[in-house]
């Protein structure tokens, strides 16, 4: 981070386009100077998954200081499209996303992969498992305590809850994560959790770094 630079980190959106637009209007993000990071779970459960990805692509098409992390829901969608773990994806709120991509509003099947536009597939396949900045790691779900960073698995980065959530393990940098919803952001010495339940119609959260200031949209 350079002097005066801020990083704005947005938690799990889950197809809530209205919340995302409202939150973006509230944060003092300066596209030419500040970084913007999305922590994954752009899709599923909410009504506007496809439009959320369109919105993020419109940002990345105009501004360079934007990074997007891989969430477990994007991982499940990619598995589904590969013909794997289809029931798991449907059981975890994938239906609205599949309907959004299917022209006749049935459920998109792996045989109809071509109905997802190329720019969306490039987006899903390019998502990063985590980001490292000066004093923080930014990841969707978390890391396994006691494991060296080089040995952390993508599965844990997308899915872990315990033993990560309650751990006081020092990872060397503070972890900013989503995935596990809280009524209020979880703030601990070694981690900050910023999923505040947008998937369930509650709030979408943004964390400003290094000030560690929070912004919200939703009820």
DSSP 4-41: T--EEEE---TT-HHHHHHHHHHS---TTT-EEEE-S-
**What's the rounded Cα separation, in Å, for the pair 186 and 80?**
31
pLDDT of residue 219: 78
pTM score: 0.94
- Which residues in the chain come in under a pLDDT of 50? none
Distance CA 127, CA 146 (A): 25
Q: Give tens-digit pLDDT for 163-219.
A: 999 999 999 999 999 999 999 999 999 999 999 999 999 999 999 999 999 999 997
Residue 113 pLDDT: 63
**Which positions ≥6 away from 141 have C-beta within 8 Å?**
71, 72, 156, 157, 158, 159, 160, 161, 164, 177, 178, 179, 180
Strand residue runs (E) in 103-150: 130-132, 136-139
pLDDT at 83: 86
- What residue ranges define each of the domains in the chain, with the CATH number in brackets? 7-130+195-218 (3.60.21.10)
Q: Is the CB of residue 164 less than 8 Å from the CB of residue 153?
A: no
Cα first-last separation, the chain: 33
């Amino acid at each position: 981070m350079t002097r005066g630079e801020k990083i704005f980190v947005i938690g799990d959106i889950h197809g809530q386009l209205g919340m995302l637009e409202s939150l973006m209007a509230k944060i003092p993000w300066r596209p030419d100077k500040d970084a913007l990071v999305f922590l994954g779970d752009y899709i599923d459960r909410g009504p506007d998954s496809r439009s959320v990805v369109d919105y993020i692509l419109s940002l990345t098409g105009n501004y360079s200081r934007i990074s997007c992390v891989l969430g477990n829901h994007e991982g499940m969608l990619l598995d589904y499209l590969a013909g794997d773990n289809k029931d798991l994806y449907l059981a975890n709120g994938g239906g609205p996303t599949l309907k959004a991509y299917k022209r006749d509003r049935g459920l998109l099947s792996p045989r109809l992969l071509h109905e997802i536009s190329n720019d969306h597939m490039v987006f899903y396949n390019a998502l990063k498992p985590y980001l490292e900045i000066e004093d923080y790691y930014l990841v969707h779900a978390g890391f396994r305590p006691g494991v060296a960073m080089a040995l952390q698995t993508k599965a844990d980065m997308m899915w872990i809850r315990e033993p990560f959530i309650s751990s006081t393990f020092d990872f060397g940098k503070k972890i900013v994560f989503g995935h596990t919803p809280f009524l209020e952001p979880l703030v601990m010495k070694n981690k900050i959790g910023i999923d505040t339940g947008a998937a369930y119609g509650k709030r979408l959260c943004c964390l400003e770094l290094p000030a560690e200031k929070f912004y919200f949209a939703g009820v």
